[in-house]
Amino acid sequence: MRVIAAFLIAPALAITCMCVLFGGQPYADALVVSLMIAYLTYPFVLVIGLPLFWLLYRKQWLGLKACMMAALVCAAIAFLFMLSPLDKQETLRQIQSQGLFIVATALLGGGLFWWMGVRHNQALKQPVQDKDAAAP
């Protein structure tokens, strides 16, 4: 249950925190921008983040660094979909202007996910049992 809550809360909290930090005004436009970014973020978290989490869980690589790197992978793939394929100058400008925001948000989101869903979660410490391994 903690992992599900972390999947739902961590991206929104990270996006909102970074919008407040980068926007400068805590309540003016940060909430609207956060909602727009979350609308794009959650599909990628579900499509890419869930399989990455399952892989990390199966390999028992659920450390802070692994969660942050998985969040960075999700954010990088989402960012690639947002880039304009037609204009190289526009793509370079987007990478320069939005890259730091996306990297910082992904790292914060991965850290929050680990802190909320993985840290001290005894249910995740048990290795996954394969059905075939129990067969004689």
What does pTM read for this prediction?
A: 0.79
pLDDT along the chain (136 residues), means of 10: 90 84 65 73 88 91 92 86 71 75 90 93 73 49
Radius of gyration of the chain (CA): 17
Q: What is the pLDDT of residue 136?
A: 47
Q: How far apart are CA 34 and CA 12, in angstroms?
A: 7
DSSP letter (8 states) at residue 29: T
Query: CA 30 → CA 13, 33, 117, distances in Å?
Result: 12, 5, 26
Q: What is the pLDDT of residue 130?
A: 57
Burial class (CB in 10 A: 0-12, 13-18, 19+), 123: exposed
Closest CA to 116 of 2, 12, 14: 2
What are the pLDDT digits (tens) for 17-34? 887 787 765 556 666 767
Domain ranges of the chain: 2-125
Q: How would DSSP label each residue in 90-102?
A: HHHHHHHHHHHHH
In 86-133, DSSP assigns E strands to none
